[in-house]
Amino acid sequence: MALSEGLRNLKVAVVDDNEINHKIMCKILYKFLGLNESQVDLFLNGQMCLHALARARYDLILLDIEMPVLDGCQTAIQIRHPRPAILDVNRSIPIIAVTTNAKEHQRQHYLSLGMDAVVGKPIVEPLQFIGLLKCVLAGQKGGE
């Protein structure tokens, strides 16, 4: 299946404790990828996301790092390491850290935890961000 065909059925988890960031991410995903509300689920912390990963298949996680309850680093670790409550299909899901903590040593740390790419906030170049999403969805890893 071509990537453009797969976007019609894409299911994205946006995990961020800031509702304004939820709105910004949704606006970018809707406008530039053509997604709709039924394709994007919003979570306020990693624990909420893990619960969803136990019940439904996702194609991509956009993950903030600093959040209450369960932060992005611990969320990524729990997704990548054996945890019976998560559906097997979600173990290899692409994870993109979307964070204000995007210095090179931080990026390397996030990648070492199993994240596939890192994007700095605020997102000032939405088309570049969408290009990265498409590369990650096509199986390529990298940074911003």
Structure tokens given for 75: 């969320």
Residue listed under structure tokens 């209450």: 68
For residue 132, name the pLDDT band (cuts at 50, 70, 90). very high
Q: Which CATH superfamily is domain 3-137 in?
A: Response regulator (3.40.50.2300)
pLDDT value of residue 139: 83
Q: Higher-confidence residue: 1 or 12?
A: 12
SS3 category, 119? strand
Q: Are 16 and 67 in contact (CB under 8 A)?
A: yes
For residue 118, name the pLDDT band (cuts at 50, 70, 90). very high
Give, to the nearest 10 degrees, the angle between helix 72-80 and helix 46-53: 20
For residue 1, name the pLDDT band (cuts at 50, 70, 90). very low
Q: What is the pLDDT of residues 89-117, one digit of tens each?
A: 888 999 999 999 888 999 999 999 999 99
pLDDT value of residue 141: 59
Q: Higher-confidence residue: 41 or 2?
A: 41
The mean pLDDT of 119-129, rounded to a whole number, is: 92
The mean pLDDT of 19-32, rounded to a whole number, is: 95
Q: What is the pLDDT of residues 43-92, one digit of tens each?
A: 999 999 999 999 999 999 999 999 999 999 999 999 998 766 888 888 89
**For the chain, what are the domain ranges?**
3-137
pLDDT at 144 over 90: no
SS3 category, 124? coil
pLDDT value of residue 143: 55
